[in-house]
Amino acid sequence: MQHSPAAEAAGTARATEPAEPVLPSRPLPCDSGLHTAYDTALLDLDGVVYAGGEAVPHAVDSLAAARESGLRLAYVTNNAARTPQTVAAHLTRLGVPAAAEEVITSAQAVARLIAEQVPRGARVLAVGADGLRVALEERGLTVVETADEEPAAVVQGYGGPAMEWGRLIEAAIAVQRGVPWFASNTDLTIPSGRGIAPGNGSAVEVVRIATRWLRTPPEPQVAGKPLPPMHRESILRTGARRPLVVGDRLDTDIEGAHAGRVDSLLVLTGVTDAAQLLAARPVHRPTYVARDLRSLLESQPEVTGDADSGFGCRGWLAHAGADQLTLEGDGDPVDGLRALCGAAWSAAGECRLDTENALARLGF
């Protein structure tokens, strides 16, 4: 179903449905610009396109140029609170023209998951905001407010700061009664303009705590990134054949790309910093690494070498020693970071490497 230009460049072309995803041991090269190697960019929003409600530097111009070149853009978010129409309007105000059809939310993914398991028109106790309610109704499901209305399913999605505690009580009672339990996503936290706030995963934990006394404690079926239902929803809605996942989080965006067996680009404009990238587990390692969305229009350099000779990228050479990473050379700091990724990922599991000095030299 999906094709991986990066895997092909690395000599490991993927079959239509490979048994296992290809896990990179270094950032991979792409001789052409990413906008020509892929047909659709599946872009995360917060930390990639905008931050605190405002556009990330270079995002507006880069996305406009990528679209003009023929790359299709789709915006994939775990936030179930807002409708696609609201998200598209926000993007358009920022200077990134978008249609509702180009926005895929975890609310849509979980609504499809529920609709596949209950009859059309079934009652669903929804604990969340408008985005979740609209997605359920679009699937022909009937939204109800309480556990006493005999729902066929209960679903939680991020409800925003105005969500009432009573909604969680209704969800907990329904789950205690054996009603199938769903969640749009389980992100414990979300970024806000004032700091880190509790996410939908925190609300899911409240219901879990309230039901853990049961003989068999229930677990929700989760749709959002990094799990397959979200990637499936993105592919079904976009029709992408050569998608590239673009994100700023290792445990949602990048892991989700691995779960979907497609390539990924990590941009350093969001929550993941350079030290976290170097320490990434195999399923959290992106195909490509870049500073920001300008990389969609650029080729990706090759990281050469091995553990013995060191890992080079353009003017940089990185080695993994007994207990630390070392770096020599000069040039673009992101190229130095790519070389460090090769060295750190090759040594992963052998020791905990000290990365502070090497990263300080790059300004990270």
Can you tell me the distance from the alpha carbon of 149 to that of 287, in angstroms, rounded to the nearest whole number?
48
- Could you give the C-alpha distances from 322 to 4, 85, 277, 319, 348, in angstroms and in order? 35, 53, 20, 10, 12
Catalytic site residue from 44, 187, 253, 335: 44
For residue 46, indicate whether it is catalytic.
yes
Pick the closest to residue 41 from 255, 301, 247, 259 (CA basis). Answer: 247
Of residues 62, 70, 53, 138, the one with CA closest to residue 100: 138
Cβ proximity of 189 and 164 under 8 Å = no
Rounded to whole angstroms, the Cα distance separating 233 from 185 reads 14
Q: Which residue has the tokens 């090497």?
A: 358
Q: Which of 31, 39, 46, 308 is catalytic?
A: 46
Q: How far apart are the first and last CA of the chain?
A: 38
Beta-carbon count within 10 A of 297 CB: 18
Cβ neighbours of residue 176 closer than 8 Å, sequence gap 6 or more:
210, 211, 214
What is the Cα 333 distance to its own chain's centre?
24
Residue type, 173: I
Q: Considering all CA atoms of the chain, what is the largest pairwise distance in Å, rounded to the nearest integer?
A: 67
Which amino acid is residue 43, in one-letter code? L
Answer yes or no: 44 catalytic: yes
**Residues carrying an active site annotation:** 44, 46
